Amino acid sequence: MILRVENLYKAFGSNKVLTGVSLEIPEKSICSVVGQSGTGKSVLLKCIMGMIRPDAGSVWFKDTLLTAMEREALREVRKHFGYAFQNAALFDSMTVGENLEFPLREVLQIKNRDIIKKKVSQILDWIELPGIEKMSPGDLSGGMRKRVGVARALMLQPEVLFFDEPTTGLDPVLSETIMNLVLRVNKELGVTCIVITHDIPAAFRISDKIAFLHQGRIVAEGSPKEVAASNQEIVRDFLRISFNELTS
């Protein structure tokens, strides 16, 4: 397991959001976290990434207990994590190329211009948007922006990439493009991907593992087949509605 979450609790005042979440994420897998809006998916993700400190419970990254770490040490470990958030906005005052160079210069401290240029052009080729270095993020379509956002997260060669609703606001065709990009990040680059999504059919298509969060706990988890066969009423209802929306 690359990540292990044990008995995680998080409340905001009297709002008990996570009440004992346990979850194991196998290395180089795609794991999707699904569930109703407001149920705590983003909070869970932030706890795993170390952006929010849980009230109780543990998060392990390989053999490292993240929940016990000091801020500084945690920052080091977090270099292995990348995230492509719904609103992880690109810097609009910079070109696409400068956006992609930023983590290389600021985090990896690479100074050699040729190396930087080459890495940027390679990643743009890889996301199938070659030669757009000089464009402004403001001139990109929504789908292009998301792909560039993923590219920026990939610049630091993360071991784990977190996606919080990567397809929100995209039309079905673009959603599929982004989900296929997640699949390629996983299969071609060997990156473990943790995806929060409301696109249930896509989650079932691309994921090795699905975790269903409900009222602060994981109420169903396993392969897509196993979760689809869950006999929990809440899971069955949620899946029936999600898949029916597709055909109605």
Q: Which residues bind ligand ATP (CB under 6 A)?
A: 12, 15, 17, 37-43
CA-to-CA distance for 193 and 83, rounded, in angstroms? Answer: 10
Residues 116-155 that bind Mg ion (CB under 5 A): none
- Name the amino acid, one letter, at 58: S
What is the Cα–Cα distance from 129 to 181, expressed in whole angstroms?
A: 12
Q: Which does 12 bind (CB under 5 to 8 A by kind): Mg ion, ligand ATP, none?
A: ligand ATP
Of the pair 42, 186, the CB lying nearest ligand ATP is at 42
> Could you tell which of ligand ATP, Mg ion, none binds residue 67, using a CB distance below 5 to 8 A set by kind?
none
Which of Mg ion, ligand ATP, none lies near 112, with the C-beta cut-off 5 to 8 A by kind? none
> What is the closest distance, in whole angstroms, from the C-beta atom of residue 163 to ligand ATP in the complex?
12
Q: Considering the rule CB under 5 A, would residue 42 count as an interface residue with Mg ion?
A: yes
In angstroms, give the least distance from the CB of 88 to ligand ATP: 14
CB of 55 to ligand ATP, least distance (A): 13
CB 172 → ligand ATP: shortest distance, Å?
A: 19
CB atoms closer than 10 angstroms to residue 10: 22
Q: Tell the smallest beta-carbon distance from residue 179 to Mg ion (Å).
A: 17
Number of residues binding to Mg ion, judged by CB under 5 A: 1
C-alpha distances (whole Å) from 146 to each of 124, 127, 141, 156, 165 are 12, 10, 9, 17, 11
Residue 40 or 50 with smaller CB distance to ligand ATP: 40
The DSSP result for 156-214, as a single string, is: T--SEEEEESTTTT--HHHHHHHHHHHHHHHHHH--EEEEE-S-HHHHHHH-SEEEEEE
Residue nearest to Mg ion according to CB distances in the complex: 42
The neighbouring-strand residues paired with 61 are 3, 64
Closest CA to 122 of 81, 72, 157: 157
**How big is the chain, counted in residues?**
248
* Partner whose binding site includes residue 39, from ligand ATP, Mg ion, none (CB under 5 to 8 Å by kind): ligand ATP
CB 37, min distance to Mg ion, A: 7
Q: What is the DSSP letter of 94?
A: S
Interface residue list for Mg ion (CB under 5 A)? 42
